[in-house]
Amino acid sequence: MKKKLYPALVSLLGSVGLAGALGYLFAGVLMFFPGFEKLSEFMVGRTDLTPGYGWTLVAVPFVLLLAHLYTRARLGFWFVRHGWIDEAIAYTQARLKTGLFRSKNEVRAHRAALGWSLAHRGEYAAAWEVLEEADAPPGAPFATAVIRWRLEVALRRENLVDCHRVLERIDTIRARTADVCAIWGCAAEVAARESDEVACREALEKARWVDADAPRTGYAAALCAEAFAHDDEELEEAAASLKRALTALDRDLPLRGPEARAHLAEVLRALGRADQARAVLEEARALEGDPRSVFVLSQTPPDDPEDTVEPTDDAKRGRELTDDDDLREAIASAERLAVIGMKPSGPALDVPRYMEARGYAVVPVNPGYDEVAGHPAADRVDEVEGPVDMVVVFRRSEYVADHVDEILGMSPPPRTVWMQLGIRSPEATRRLTEARIDVVQDRCLQIEYPRLFDV
């Protein structure tokens, strides 16, 4: 009943308001014609200065119209908060274009609500596309809602590059709203994932300044404590905050539920509460999660240390390599390199040539060229014939994830994917390591080779 009654009331406000406004307009014309003296008296009063009531009441339909416009712009959010996702999507998708009776601000509100609805379902790529088209300066109406959900979606997609693009614009935000609080909570999560304690704590303090009891603040506090806590008091506070926030977090993004509980379990484990951590993990494993949640949950250590099994050499594969010994082994064990984005000039040529001069076979992968540096170029990396030990990537960070399916389609798969200096893709890293392929991010082969091998 409530699902239908509230939207009907919103429509009724608009209908009555519009009918009233048109009625007053029509009455304002008729009162000048003979035979409508009574109407004229009602509208403007008598000639003896007795006031009329018509112009006083004219504000009523316009108040109703304003109430209609206000509630209409927020109806999509109302649907999502109540869990009526199908209704929210149907309502907002039909209202994504401006018109005579629909402003840019209202369309921006509908896009924010639609982005949230799609993210609620785990359709993150579609949500990102909808939200990108709603981009606006931070001070514009509903802009903070768009920023908030762009950050949430980018975090679920594990695209920290997109997160930083959005975060570059939030320093001017001074409002104290739920969306602003969530924005700072997202900023804290980005910093926690990047192991930046200073940035994480700064963002967490800003979230607490807006609303210390908000669910997103509690989640950010748990992530910060898990990564950087210096005492049990901080862990206790974070565990309590996250426990209180779980229901609201699940309502906002239910597929994040397993990840949130995995972080809570880690905090409880750090406090020595193994039984509570085990119960939380059992709850997490019973929930449906998105790929990010499944991955985080899979990385949670076993409850019982005796259950830990020393991995075989093959099982050790599928990590992000940062240790010098691991980097040295990855380079030394490779013989044939497929270079995505290799070009006839610049670093995308210099680095492959450097490695080729040291005995490595190089295969260019670039659909824009038939040949690079005397080698036939493949259009896609999965079209390279024969085994490849390492895939070297010369693409901008936001495009790396587009090549993951190609890499996973290689037979046999490569041992390592190496992203050159300045290139990072958490989303691609997650998918590749899940497929037991090692990943190196933000390192130049031409720099690392002489450093690691003392050349």
Q: Can you give the pLDDT at residue 55?
A: 59
The CATH number linked to 405 is: 3.40.50.720
Please say which residue of 258, 277, 307 terminates a domain.
307
Residue 307 has pLDDT above 60, yes or no: no
Are 446 and 340 in a shared domain? yes
CB 416 within 8 A of CB 433: no
Are 245 and 301 in a shared domain? yes
The CATH number linked to 271 is: 1.25.40
Residue 242, phi then psi, degrees to nearest 5: -70, -35
Please say which residue of 272, 307, 342 terminates a domain.
307
CB 391 within 8 A of CB 363: no
H or E, element range at 386? none
Are 358 and 389 in a shared domain? yes
Side-chain half-sphere CA neighbours of 2 within 13 A: 6
Could you tell me the pLDDT band of residue 48, with boundaries at 50, 70 and 90?
low
Range of the domain at 348: 324-453
Digit-coded pLDDT (tens) for 150-172: 999 999 988 888 888 888 877 77
Q: Can you give the pLDDT at residue 297?
A: 83
Name which residue leads in pLDDT, 40 or 248. Answer: 248
Distance from C-alpha of 414 to C-alpha of 440, rounded to nearest angstrom: 13
Name which residue leads in pLDDT, 418 or 67. Answer: 418
Could you tell me the pLDDT band of residue 316, with boundaries at 50, 70 and 90?
very low
Cα separations (Å) of 139 from 128, 171, 181, 211?
21, 11, 15, 20
Digit-coded pLDDT (tens) for 90-99: 999 998 888 8
Are 187 and 224 in a shared domain? yes
Question: Counting beta carbons within 10 angstroms of the beta carbon of residue 182, is it exposed (0 to 12), middle (13 to 18) or buried (19 or more)?
Answer: buried
Nearest to 86 by CA among 110, 111, 121: 121
Handedness of CA 164, 168, 171, 174 (dihedral sign): negative
Q: Is the residue at 235 inside a domain?
A: yes
What does pLDDT average to over the chain? Answer: 86
Please say which residue of 307, 341, 361 terminates a domain.
307
Nearest to 113 by CA among 73, 151, 166: 73
Are 183 and 297 in a shared domain? yes
**Residue range 224-232: average pLDDT?**
86
Are 272 and 209 in a shared domain? yes
Name which residue leads in pLDDT, 176 or 185. Answer: 185
Are 361 and 330 in a shared domain? yes
Q: Is the residue at 425 inside a domain?
A: yes
Could you tell me the pLDDT band of residue 253, with boundaries at 50, 70 and 90?
very high
Cα separations (Å) of 143 from 71, 146, 176, 338?
17, 5, 14, 43
Residue 53 has pLDDT above 50, yes or no: yes
Helix (H, G, I), strand (E, B) or coil at 165: helix
Are 347 and 439 in a shared domain? yes
Are 432 and 348 in a shared domain? yes
Helix (H, G, I), strand (E, B) or coil at 129: helix
Handedness of CA 216, 171, 428, 332 (dihedral sign): negative
Helix (H, G, I), strand (E, B) or coil at 134: coil
Distance from C-alpha of 89 to C-alpha of 83, rounded to nearest angstrom: 11
Domain count, the chain: 2
In percent, the amount of the chain with pLDDT more than 90 equals 49
Q: Is the residue at 99 inside a domain?
A: no
Q: Is the residue at 102 inside a domain?
A: no
Q: Can you give the pLDDT at residue 71?
A: 86
At position 259, the amino acid (one-letter code) is E
Could you tell me the pLDDT band of residue 303, with boundaries at 50, 70 and 90?
low
Q: Is the residue at 24 inside a domain?
A: no
Side-chain half-sphere CA neighbours of 48 within 13 A: 0
Q: Is the residue at 41 inside a domain?
A: no
Q: Can you give the pLDDT at residue 270?
A: 87
Are 364 and 298 in a shared domain? no
Are 340 and 303 in a shared domain? no
Q: Is the residue at 186 inside a domain?
A: yes
Helix (H, G, I), strand (E, B) or coil at 211: helix
Structure tokens at 207: 């979230």
Distance from C-alpha of 264 to C-alpha of 278, rounded to nearest angstrom: 10
Distance from C-alpha of 164 to C-alpha of 154, rounded to nearest angstrom: 10
Does residue 412 have a cis bond before it (omega within 30 degrees)?
Answer: yes
Diameter of the chain measured on Cα atoms: 106
Digit-coded pLDDT (tens) for 112-128: 999 999 999 999 999 99
Digit-coded pLDDT (tens) for 366-383: 999 999 999 999 999 999
3-state helix, strand, coil in the chain (%, to 5): 60, 5, 30
pTM: 0.62
**Residue range 268-287: average pLDDT?**
90
Residue 223 has pLDDT above 80, yes or no: yes
Q: How many helices (H) and strands (E) does the chain have?
A: 22, 7
**Residue range 419-428: average pLDDT?**
92
**Which has the minimum average pLDDT: 40-44, 215-219, 340-344?**
40-44
Residue 3 has pLDDT above 80, yes or no: no
Could you tell me the pLDDT band of residue 434, with boundaries at 50, 70 and 90?
confident
Digit-coded pLDDT (tens) for 387-406: 999 999 999 999 999 999 99
Query: Cα Rg for the chain, rounded, in angstroms?
Result: 29
Could you tell me the pLDDT band of residue 46, with boundaries at 50, 70 and 90?
low
CB 265 within 8 A of CB 284: yes
Name which residue leads in pLDDT, 22 or 357. Answer: 357
Cα separations (Å) of 321 from 99, 318, 388, 422, 441?
53, 9, 18, 16, 8
Partners of 340 in beta bridges: 365, 393
CA-based end-to-end distance of the chain: 75
Helix (H, G, I), strand (E, B) or coil at 99: strand
Q: Can you give the pLDDT at residue 61?
A: 79
Nearest to 119 by CA among 223, 20, 254: 254
Residue 343, phi then psi, degrees to nearest 5: -130, 170
Q: Is the residue at 52 inside a domain?
A: no
**Which has the minimum average pLDDT: 249-263, 292-306, 342-356, 397-411?**
292-306
Are 341 and 398 in a shared domain? yes
